[in-house]
Structure 1
Amino acid sequence: MTGTALSLWPAPLRSGAPAQPPRPVLVAFVGLVAALLAGVAEAIVQTALLLERDEVDLAGLATGLGVRLGIYLVVLIVAIRMTHGARWARILLTFGIGVIGLLSLIIEPLAALLSADKFGDLFADLTVESAMIGLFRAIHIVAVLVAIPAMYRPGARRYFSLPRLSVSLGQTHA
């Protein structure tokens, strides 16, 4: 659906500009979407576990899910802007997802690893649900570790350095 009002990809902005982002940018976008989907899946499993408890703070749970959903929507919108060549989006994703987000994903497992007396203690209370959460978390981390470097591959760097036309002002921005 390129060239339509519903297209996610921009039309060429100037003569010689690519109609679609280069492969590394597409890889980064797919990686970010995969990370988001893994995060959603993890949130669903965690919510299901919380709802099984006798005393559930539904307001707190709903607030937490709302915040998480809001963050995921912002990340998706920024990722889409990144595919349009927005350098600010690439930088925001690098620090927001590649640094802060990645740290938030690895702090809990790292703390558990460091607090365990023996490596086997980590698996003493393993359930299907905790294994699913671990799997989704691992997918999330790997997807981020694929996406962020992809945004800095040579083809992507050239794409982000192309001058863009401002649609609202009609000016070229370097």
Structure 2
Amino acid sequence: MGLVQIGGWDNRRVSVLVARIGKPHSLRGEVTVQTHTDDPDGRFVPGAVFATEAQPGTGVPRALTLRTSRVHKGIWLLAFDEIPDRTGAESLRGTKLFADEGEAGDDADDDGWYEDELIGLRAVDPAGTELGEVVGLDIGPAQDRLILRLADGTEAQVPFVEAIVPEVDTESGRVVIDPPPGLLDLGRE
């Protein structure tokens, strides 16, 4: 799982994405979540505080305190102290929840990158030919995807897996993309 730095938090702190909120579940403010952690039992404990990332104008608080958690038919349901009802829960749809991982540095995940470290990297193929630029990171349920702006101005999504992205070199400002044939053409007409 890649590391993500939350704007406004202490820059020496590392936060990781642990869930993305889905739809409301009950009248009491519960929401479904898509988990992005390998330890939901350890993360989703009452009293845990999560930083949030939501669309501007939604009114979502910058942090949410977990009131309850449970699994229903294989889906995690969470409720927060700040969200008392279904109307409030509806405003959370699409919100990302982040947990503080402590100090960056020696304890940081060596295989992770801050999203801000990836954005702006030049994307090149294994021969060094310029493909475009990394403009985003989309966290998905099965795998994350780099969002590239290609040389012709179109965007492409590339699975952020070692087989397709064999090298990320933030020092030199580049990422090597070895896409299977046609991957960068998906979505173009």
TM-score (norm 2): 0.23
Task: Answer 1 or 2: higher relative contact order, Cα 8 Å, separation at least 6.
Answer: 1
Q: Which has the higher helix share?
A: 1
Q: Which has the higher strand share?
A: 2
